[in-house]
């Protein structure tokens, strides 16, 4: 009876995640099916776009947790608290539909030194809302949160408990009379500021810095969390960037696959010039789309990324000292062995995008997504 009533209540509210088609690898023709494969309710269908059936979706957030490009996101943020329960667990504490909806930035906001963060879940494997993958999703988010918190000299003290009912332990919420008699309110305010600093800006005002159309929101939040730690330019940060090895044939495969337009081909205008790949480091979300798309397998992701790279200007990741060529048909003189082996692949890719290099066109994407993304090539003036 209770379960039936709970399921009915969920259907009355829209618990489906938000979907940014311009950031979706499936929409861009990358073949990603991660969200559909993880959904325990078969609520997701992938065709030319991603469709989520609101009647079947329970809002568990497993699709959000596995999306490599952050194209899916929860509709709401969790109130900052140090104890959260899933909706299948009874109690009076802060709750979310499912703990898999919690992202790394949520855990960073809720973390505080010397105070554990408790997440109360039910039997996920037998839950009508989530599924057996929920604990793994929580751990992935926690791992990312720990990397971000480490930059601030902090750790994530996380307790995940399986219970039927959960209340915040009294020793966490009560202020003793002795503390109050000692002038405790002033001390409490001081202690709270210590617990939050320097993440108070992230916890309270990070939404003001979010541009919901420019880049995936979770990526922006993580960048902000890193920036608040004030890292030195040569400090290694928990981000990934691509590198392009010798043998690149300068086909448009990686630029067309990138969901944030972080990488682009640039063709020099003079006859003595050549072509190059440029990367906007701060736009790269480390989704591996360029790696998967490369027909000659010369794109790799690296994790020894410095803060100076992320905040610096666009950099050239590959240059070909060859005469300029029309879009989609870069001249290939003195092909390297790798290029020779990949010649057929390059021809296939160029043919597939012929006519699609004009600004604003997106092969394999719906027109709305295309309007959001724009072109991928540029001519140097």
Q: Which of 160-164, 319-323, 372-376 has the lowest mean pLDDT?
A: 372-376
For the segment 42-63, the average pLDDT, to the nearest whole number, is 94
Q: Of 70, 67, 140, 69, which Cα lies nearest the Cα of 99?
A: 140
Domain boundary assignment for the chain = 2-170, 241-379
Question: Does residue 169 have a pLDDT over 70?
Answer: no
Locate 196 and state its tokens.
Answer: 């939050």
Question: Does residue 274 have a pLDDT over 90?
Answer: no
Q: How many CA atoms lie within 13 A of 249 on its CB side?
A: 27
Between 13 and 364, whose confidence is greater? Answer: 13
For the segment 277-285, the average pLDDT, to the nearest whole number, is 95
CB atoms within 10 A of CB 217: 23
Percentage of the chain with pLDDT > 90?
A: 57
pTM: 0.74
Main-chain dihedrals φ then ψ at residue 41, nearest 5 degrees: -120, 10
Question: Does residue 51 have a pLDDT over 90?
Answer: yes
Between 65 and 207, whose confidence is greater? Answer: 65
**Using an 8 Å Cβ cutoff, are 69 and 287 in contact?**
yes
Classified as helix, coil or strand, 228 is helix
Q: Which of 135-149, 261-275, 278-292, 325-339 has the lowest mean pLDDT?
A: 325-339
The pLDDT of residue 379: 52
Question: Does residue 94 have a pLDDT over 50?
Answer: yes
**Using an 8 Å Cβ cutoff, are 336 and 247 in contact?**
yes
Band of the pLDDT at 199, cuts 50, 70, 90?
low
For the chain, report the end-to-end CA distance as a whole number of angstroms: 69
Give CA separation, 132 vs 60, 65, 97, 127, 313, in Å. Answer: 11, 13, 15, 8, 43
Q: How confident is the model over 106-147, as pLDDT tens digits? A: 999 888 777 889 999 999 999 999 999 999 999 999 999 999
Band of the pLDDT at 320, cuts 50, 70, 90?
confident
Percentage of the chain with pLDDT > 70?
A: 67
Q: Of 331, 313, 312, 314, which Cα lies nearest the Cα of 322?
A: 331
> Residue 352: which H helix or E strand, with range?
helix 343-352
The pLDDT of residue 177: 43
Question: Does residue 216 have a pLDDT over 90?
Answer: yes
Give CA separation, 99 vs 19, 74, 121, 182, 221, in Å. Answer: 19, 11, 7, 39, 19
The mean of the pLDDT values for the chain is 77
- Cα distance between residue 260 and residue 72, in whole Å: 14
Q: Of 81, 162, 71, 179, which Cα lies nearest the Cα of 122?
A: 162
Alpha carbon dihedral 289, 292, 295, 298, in 10-degree steps, equals: 90
Name the architecture of domain 241-379: 2-Layer Sandwich (3.30)
Question: Does residue 175 have a pLDDT over 70?
Answer: no
The pLDDT of residue 330: 39
The pLDDT of residue 42: 96
- Cα distance between residue 55 and residue 149, in whole Å: 38
Handedness of CA 58, 64, 67, 70 (dihedral sign): positive
Locate 157 and state its tokens.
Answer: 């003290």
Question: Does residue 283 have a pLDDT over 80?
Answer: yes
Prior bond to 297 cis, omega within 30? no
The answer to whether 2-170 and 241-379 have equal CATH topology is yes
CB atoms within 10 A of CB 161: 12
CATH for 2-170? Answer: 3.30.70.20
Alpha carbon dihedral 33, 35, 39, 41, in 10-degree steps, equals: -80
């Amino acid at each position: 009876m209770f379960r039936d009533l709970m399921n009915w209540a969920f259907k009355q509210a829209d618990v489906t995640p938000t979907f940014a088609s311009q950031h979706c690898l499936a929409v861009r023709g990358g073949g990603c099916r991660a969200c559909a494969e993880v959904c325990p309710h078969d609520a997701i269908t992938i065709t030319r776009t991603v469709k989520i059936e609101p009647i079947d979706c329970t809002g568990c957030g497993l699709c959000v947790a596995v999306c490599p490009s952050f194209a899916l996101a929860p509709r709401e943020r969790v109130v900052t608290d140090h104890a959260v329960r899933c909706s299948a667990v009874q109690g009076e504490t802060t709750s979310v539909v499912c703990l898999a909806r919690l992202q790394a930035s949520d855990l960073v906001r809720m973390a505080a030194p010397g105070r554990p963060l408790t997440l109360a879940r039910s039997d996920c494997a037998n839950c009508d809302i989530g599924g057996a993958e929920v604990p793994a999703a929580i751990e992935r988010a926690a791992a990312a949160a720990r990397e971000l918190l480490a930059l601030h000299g902090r750790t994530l003290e996380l307790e995940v408990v399986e219970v039927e009912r959960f209340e915040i332990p009294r020793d966490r919420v009560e202020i003793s009379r002795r503390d109050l008699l000692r002038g405790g309110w002033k001390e409490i305010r001081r202690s709270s500021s210590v617990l939050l600093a320097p993440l108070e800006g992230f916890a309270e005002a990070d939404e003001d810095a979010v541009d919901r159309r420019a880049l995936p929101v979770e990526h922006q939040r993580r960048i902000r969390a890193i920036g608040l730690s004030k890292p030195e330019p040569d400090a290694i940060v928990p981000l990934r960037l691509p590198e392009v090895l010798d043998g690149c044939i300068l086909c448009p495969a990686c630029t067309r696959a990138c969901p944030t337009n972080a990488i682009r081909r640039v063709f020099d205008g003079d006859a003595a010039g050549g072509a190059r790949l440029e990367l906007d480091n701060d736009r790269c979300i480390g989704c591996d789309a360029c790696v998967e798309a490369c027909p000659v397998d010369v794109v790799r992701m690296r994790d020894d990324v410095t803060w100076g790279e992320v905040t610096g200007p666009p950099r050239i990741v590959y240059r070909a000292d060859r005469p300029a060529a029309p879009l989609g048909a870069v001249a290939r003189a003195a092909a390297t062995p790798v290029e020779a082996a990949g010649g057929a692949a390059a021809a296939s890719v160029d043919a597939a995008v012929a006519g699609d290099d004009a600004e604003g066109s997106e092969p394999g994407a719906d027109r709305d997504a295309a309007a959001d993304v724009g072109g991928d090539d540029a001519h140097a003036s």
